[in-house]
Chain A
Amino acid sequence: DTAVSQTPKYLVTQMGNDKSIKCEQNLGHDTMYWYKQDSKKFLKIMFSYNNKELIINETVPNRFSPKSPDKAHLNLHINSLELGDSAVYFCASSQGAGGQPQHFGDGTRLSIL
């Protein structure tokens, strides 16, 4: 039973398109995150939601818009995709927004042609 699941696993699309990535967790956690991992494997937080409220919003272009319909789901919509958006995007969840273990999904590899 997958704890944090993301769909799709792979996304190949053209520059300028709009795409969405979905994330669901079945751990009963109240906090969810989006991370971006670049080609050098550097992991950086993008957004975090606690009980459906946005609590972390790093310096991310406003073409990226997260949405949390409920505590178990966090989606990421990206408008006007650019070449630099190519990366692996990870969703994660934790119980609480402090120093608690974060559980990661297996990522969505986004490739922009």
Chain B
Amino acid sequence: QQQVKQSPQSLIVQKGGIPIINCAYENTAFDYFPWYQQFPGKGPALLIAIRPDVSEKKEGRFTISFNKSAKQFSLHIMDSQPGDSATYFCAAKGQAGTALIFGKGTTLSVSS
């Protein structure tokens, strides 16, 4: 019940394409859903986050779609660029004092 399932494991798109990464969770106590981006040799960096009271959030080229009834959320990257090539992690968290649970990551390659 503590898992966050992320798919696909890897994704290759052409420049300008719209990669979509999906995540699903079981624990209805989760109330914070961030996405992190990680480049080789670096720590994960927060990209965008959403709470379950909204169905969509957009920041620049990154959009989270959230479906509370289906317990699923996804990341869309508009007009993807080679510089977006990285590993993306979804995560979920409940109340204070509980752990941030990460998905297994998606390696994205954007070809020019």
Contacts and interface: CB of A to CB of B under 8 A. Distances in A.
A, B co-complexed: yes
Interface of A: 4, 33, 40-45, 48, 50, 55-56, 58, 90, 92, 96-99, 101-107
Nearest to A98: B96
Interface residues of B, number: 26
A45 B93 CA distance: 12
B87 A107 contact: no
B99 A40 contact: no
A103 B99 CA distance: 15
Interface in B25-72: 31-32, 34, 36, 38, 41-46, 49, 51
Contacts of A106: 41-43
A87 B101 CA distance: 18
B73 interface: no
Q: Which 5 A-B pairs have the closest CB atoms?
A: A99-B32, A104-B43, A98-B96, A97-B96, A45-B99
Interface of B: 31-32, 34, 36, 38, 41-46, 49, 51, 87, 89, 93, 95-102, 104-105
A108 to B, nearest CB: 10
Contacts of A101: 34, 46, 49
Given A104-B44, A104-B45, A99 B51 contact: yes
A41 B105 contact: yes
- The interface centre, meaning the residue of B89, B95, B97 with most chain A CB atoms within 10 A of its CB, is B97
A107 B43 CA distance: 6
24 contacts: A4-B43, A33-B100, A40-B104, A41-B38, A41-B87, A41-B105, A42-B105, A43-B44, A45-B100, A50-B97, A55-B97, A90-B44, A98-B95, A98-B96, A99-B31, A103-B46, A104-B36, A104-B44, A104-B45, A105-B43, A106-B41, A106-B42, A106-B43, A107-B41
B11 to A, nearest CB: 14
Q: Which of B45, B87, B99, B105 has the most chain A CB within a 10 Å cutoff?
A: B99
